[in-house]
Structure 1
Amino acid sequence: MTHHAAIMLAAGFGIPVLAALNARLGANIGGPAAAAFVLFVVALACAAVAMVLTGPGALTRLPGQPLHLFGAGALIAFYVLSITWIAPVFGVGNAVFFVLMGQLASAALIDQFGLFGARQVALSPLRVGGLAMMAVGLAATQFAPRE
């Protein structure tokens, strides 16, 4: 496993943990939006430290970037707000299950068409089969009879 895969595995591991922690914070303080705000303040501080350590010069190239590239911020806000509100009532596992299903579908489309400048990877029958097996496996973890 390359270091890239290991980092992404850790990031994937963190998504349900993030959901559970922020959902609990939102429930504890009685404000999911406030919990999301706190999460973003902490995330901003962490990103600022990483930027300072790696060189803030990239910020000088922000002007002139296509506006749609800034949509990622809105998407992460939507994810954090929705998981913070939904997880306490729907369950972390159920919420993350549907997030993962959406990730599989959107990743396949982005790769297939090389959207947003991503490397284009054809959606071959083998990839479709693999995605279908992943979807069935995810569903089995959520909809299997509970003991």
Structure 2
Amino acid sequence: MAGYAFVMLLAGIGIPLLAAINAALGVRLGSPVAAAAILFCVALTLALIVLAMTGFRGLQNLPGTPKHLFLGGAFVAFYVLSVTFIAPKFGVGNAVFFVLLGQLFSAAAIDHFGLFGAQVSPLSLTRAAGISLMAAGVWVTQQV
């Protein structure tokens, strides 16, 4: 479990880095959409390399997969495009803090209802208080 937590910590560290780097690329290119397209090309290339290294496992199940499970790609595109457009004007910290707030609320709902096959973790009073405390922390960071 500690290994999972560490990997997810690194992923969390990567989100603001992604936002800052891609926003800077969008400014440099004069096109946030071009920056997003480049990001996706690099990501696709790396994902295909890892897929090849693992023997293309899972692709045989693609035809029977429910189509709504492909919406993850749309959410990634929305995140990357929105942060690439907004971060240079709103600030990377502001953009990521509000992303974090959205993640807190949606993660709680997904866990509570076990959406998309997620492990059910009911929203107890203690957990709601913790999420509220984290949300309050995000709010405090926005106070100038």
Query: What amino acid maps onto 2:128 in structure 1?
Result: V
Q: Secondary structure at the match of 2:64?
A: coil
Displacement, 1:41?
Answer: 0.2
- Tell me the equivalent position of 2:131: 131
Q: Secondary structure at the match of 2:60?
A: helix
Displacement, 1:142?
Answer: 2.1
- Tell me the equivalent position of 1:2: 2
Displacement, 1:27?
Answer: 0.3
* TM value normalised by structure 2: 0.97
Unaligned runs of 5+ in 1: none
Q: Distance in 1 between matches of 2:55 and 2:130?
A: 39
- Tell me the equivalent position of 1:51: 51
* TM value normalised by structure 1: 0.95
Q: Is 2:20 aligned against 1:26? A: no
**Runs ≥4 in structure 1, deviation > 6 angstroms?**
none
Displacement, 1:137?
Answer: 1.1
- Tell me the equivalent position of 1:117: 117
- Tell me the equivalent position of 1:106: 106
Superposition pairs of residues 83-102 of structure 1, within 5 angstroms: 83-102=83-102
Q: May I ask how many residue pairs the two structures share in their alignment?
A: 144
Q: Is 2:40 aligned against 1:40? A: yes
Displacement, 1:120?
Answer: 0.6
Structure 1, 36-45 or 134-143: larger mean CA deviation: 134-143
Q: Distance in 1 between matches of 2:113 and 2:99?
A: 21
Q: Determine what percentage of the aligned residue pairs are the same residue.
A: 58
Query: What amino acid maps onto 2:125 in structure 1?
Result: P
Displacement, 1:61?
Answer: 1.0
